[in-house]
Structure 1
Amino acid sequence: MFGGGTTTFGQSTFGTAGTPTLGMAQTTPQQQGQRDFEVASPPDDSISCMCFSPANMPSIFLIAGSWDNNVRCWEVDRGTAKTAPKSMQSMSGPILDVCWSDDGTKVFMASCDKTVKCWDLGSNQSIQVAQHEGPFWDMRSPNPILALNLPERSYCVDVEYPMAVVGTAGRHIVIYKLENTPTEYKRIESPLKYQHRCVAIFKDKQNQPTGFALGSVEGRVAIQYVNPVNPKDNFTFKCHRSNGTNQGFQDIFAVNDIKFHPVHGTLATVGSDGRYSFWDKDVRIKLKTSDSMEQSITNCAFNGDGQIFAYSVSYDWSKGHEYFQPQKKNQIFLHPCFEDLKPRNKN
């Protein structure tokens, strides 16, 4: 167990198991027919980011950041889907992003307070390692090792060494090579007409990053190879839209997050329509769409071996303050997903 065992998540103390076992699944009307399990002691405000512990760790841990200024950590029991809150760290502003160190002993937390902190899980202590003014940092030094200028404001970023992709305002996409000194490799105009919302890098069968999926506020995803063999390899598809039309209009929702399955290479998208969908980009087909939740799905994550899909349900403010309903709680669910995301055979 991590240090700091007396800390609480809201009113729940560590060790509280809040989810049912696989044989005792409790479902909401939005989850009938699905084996989805609710995570114990969820955040008190909208959930901004999630990440599972590295695959090389013997246990499964999930971290999540929230607009309540806190980053929480749960242990997930692989056999029963029970979750136990383990620890929590606070920052002085809403959490923008979180990630694990490669060895799983530390968590990096970026906040609206313009700082990045490193949380040592063993000691349950955190120290500031960076500020937002610079993108590349050596955590052993308080100074940035490099600054790269972007053409516009950054909306989304993904990193899979040795590649990084940044989507900015003005429909710019900048691709970086990270070996040795990080340098700009390519700059392209986005195939999407509206604001970028999320980006995720995908890999080839040799586990090398070869392209990325880009999501927008207009219910559309672009699949882009960095160096396509055939220009037709790059394409876009519609998603997170209403099936029917309302007086001649179709409801279109933002794509809030995209993640690729670590084993199958298929992908998941989540949206403001309160649904998640699984896709096979190679045969260009939808594998599955969930029932609609009561609120938007703000982000998602796969665990290291691709058995568990986590998704967060909370208000994403896409409809403005007048649609905010404080009585609706924030939730994180775990979905057994390995079979759902198996790729289809090419004909």
Structure 2
Amino acid sequence: MSLVLPNSGAGGGSAATGQELINDITVQNGPEDTVTDLSFSPQQELLAAASWDHKVRIYEISPNGQTQGRALYQHDGPVFSAQWSKDGTKVVSGGADKQVKLFDLQTQQANQIGVHDAPVRSVRFVECGPTNMPVVVSGSWDKTLRYWDMRSPQPILTVTLPERVYAMDTSGKLLVAACAEKHISVIDLNNPQQVFKQVQSPLKWQTRSICCYPSGDGYAIGSIEGRCSIYFIDENQHSKFGFSFRCHRKTQNNINNVYAVNSIAFHPIYGTFSTAGSDGIFCFWDKDAKQKLKVFPQLPGPITATAFNRTGSIFAYAFGYDWAQGYMGNRPDFPTQIKLHPTNDDEIKQKKKR
């Protein structure tokens, strides 16, 4: 089912006034090129940022919101993904150099733990099987998922997918890889060696972003043409509660402009979520009420990555050039920044049913 969620008025969420981002804090000494991924530590206020400038930076956020660099390490090409381990001691990353790297926060050392035959699009720490064996999983444009035990250069498992991995996420025992040609491969990490369910994206156009619900029973998927879909793994649940909706679109002079949904992030406590797009706007949504909670003012460039911290009190977002307009749209002075937005319940918590 496809919905058009209202932008304002009853049930449509509050529109931007222009004041909402005034207190947002700029991360100092930010990346020199577009940010591809943001990830908060599950244990403390540390933020990892992956960038096209070949670097992964780790920032410490003090209680007053100010930031300082804590660590930095490099790949041999643009970095597309960087994520924290559950215990907050390590960061895993992957990128255009086909490498999977593991950075140890204590020793400040980065080591290659895996390699693909094509660029690595996404990496995650997961726990596999009934014993919850901790491993790293990487999804690549070589059409495979590979699992690494972090001590051996050979993957412990390789799963062949129907197409190149464009986005990937995990929550609990759920792992979802969104591939080219609208393929979505769902894996139950109790049986990580096989695809549990193969489906087609309900959206018409190419997948750009995916994010699993904190509850681990479904995911939200975003496409290049300003649409988002709410998907449940259980088919009965999906037929009742699944839906698609339009977002990140703007009509000017009778021309309907559509923008890619570059990033989706779920609030860890409330289960509400954000979408962020090439239009330079991010919005907060309540999937259960099918309601837009809040739309924020437009930023000076496309939003390329977002993340909530472990309590949901900070929403990090990065804007920069996302290549949606090709090389012609790039310019030397295009702004690249990471900002921290302190969330409040009025913006992100589910509204009481009337």
Give the shorter-chain TM-score range.
Answer: 0.7 to 0.9
- For residues 242 and 90 of structure 2, the distance between their equivalents in structure 1, rounded to whole angstroms, comes to 37
Q: Does 1:113 align with 2:124?
A: no
Q: Which residue of 2 aligns with 1:72?
A: 57
- Which AA in structure 2 matches 1:104? G
- Which AA in structure 2 matches 1:310? A
Secondary structure class of the residue paired with 1:229: helix
> Residue deviations 1:30-59, cap 9 Å, x none?
9644321111011000111110111xx3x4
Structure 1's 107 and 203: CA in aligned 2 closer, same or farther, altered over 3 A? closer
Q: Which moved more, 1:274-283 or 1:316-325?
A: 316-325
TM-score by length of 1: 0.86
- Which AA in structure 1 matches 2:61? V
Contact 2:207 2:221 in 1 (8 A): yes
Identity of aligned residues (%): 40
Secondary structure class of the residue paired with 1:322: helix
- For residues 19 and 344 of structure 2, the distance between their equivalents in structure 1, rounded to whole angstroms, comes to 19
- For residues 283 and 245 of structure 1, the distance between their equivalents in structure 2, rounded to whole angstroms, comes to 29
TM-score by length of 2: 0.84
Contact 1:308 1:338 in 2 (8 A): no
> Residue deviations 1:218-250, cap 9 Å, x none?
1000001010435141100100111x332x221
- Number of residue pairs aligned between Structure 1 and Structure 2: 308
Q: Does 1:293 align with 2:310?
A: no
Q: Does 1:146 align with 2:130?
A: no
- For residues 321 and 68 of structure 1, the distance between their equivalents in structure 2, rounded to whole angstroms, comes to 16
Q: Does 1:61 align with 2:46?
A: yes
Shift of 1:180: 4.9
Shift of 1:182: 3.4
Shift of 1:188: 1.2
Gap regions ≥5 residues in structure 2: 1-16, 118-144
- Which AA in structure 1 matches 2:233? V
Q: Does 1:213 align with 2:220?
A: yes
Shift of 1:124: 1.0
- For residues 181 and 325 of structure 1, the distance between their equivalents in structure 2, rounded to whole angstroms, comes to 43
> Residue deviations 1:183-229, cap 9 Å, x none?
2111112100100001111144xxxx111000000100000101043
- Which AA in structure 1 matches 2:36? S
Contact 1:220 1:238 in 2 (8 A): yes
Q: Which moved more, 1:157-166 or 1:175-184?
A: 175-184
Q: Which residue of 2 aligns with 1:4?
A: none
| Displacement over 6 Å in runs of 4+ | none
Gap regions ≥5 residues in structure 1: 1-29
- Which AA in structure 2 matches 1:123? T
Shift of 1:161: 2.7
> Residue deviations 1:308-342, cap 9 Å, x none?
00000100010111111221331001001141210
- For residues 287 and 111 of structure 2, the distance between their equivalents in structure 1, rounded to whole angstroms, comes to 41
Q: Does 1:240 align with 2:260?
A: no
- For residues 152 and 190 of structure 2, the distance between their equivalents in structure 1, rounded to whole angstroms, comes to 20
Shift of 1:181: 4.2
- Which AA in structure 2 matches 1:89? Y
Structure 1's 102 and 332: CA in aligned 2 closer, same or farther, altered over 3 A? same
- For residues 202 and 191 of structure 2, the distance between their equivalents in structure 1, rounded to whole angstroms, comes to 30
Higher strand share: 2
Q: Does 1:183 align with 2:191?
A: no
- Which AA in structure 2 matches 1:316? D
Q: Which residue of 2 aligns with 1:91?
A: 75
Q: Which residue of 2 aligns with 1:158?
A: 169
Q: Which residue of 2 aligns with 1:9?
A: none
- For residues 31 and 69 of structure 1, the distance between their equivalents in structure 2, rounded to whole angstroms, comes to 34
323, 333, 343: which one aligns with 2:329: 323
Q: Does 1:251 align with 2:236?
A: no
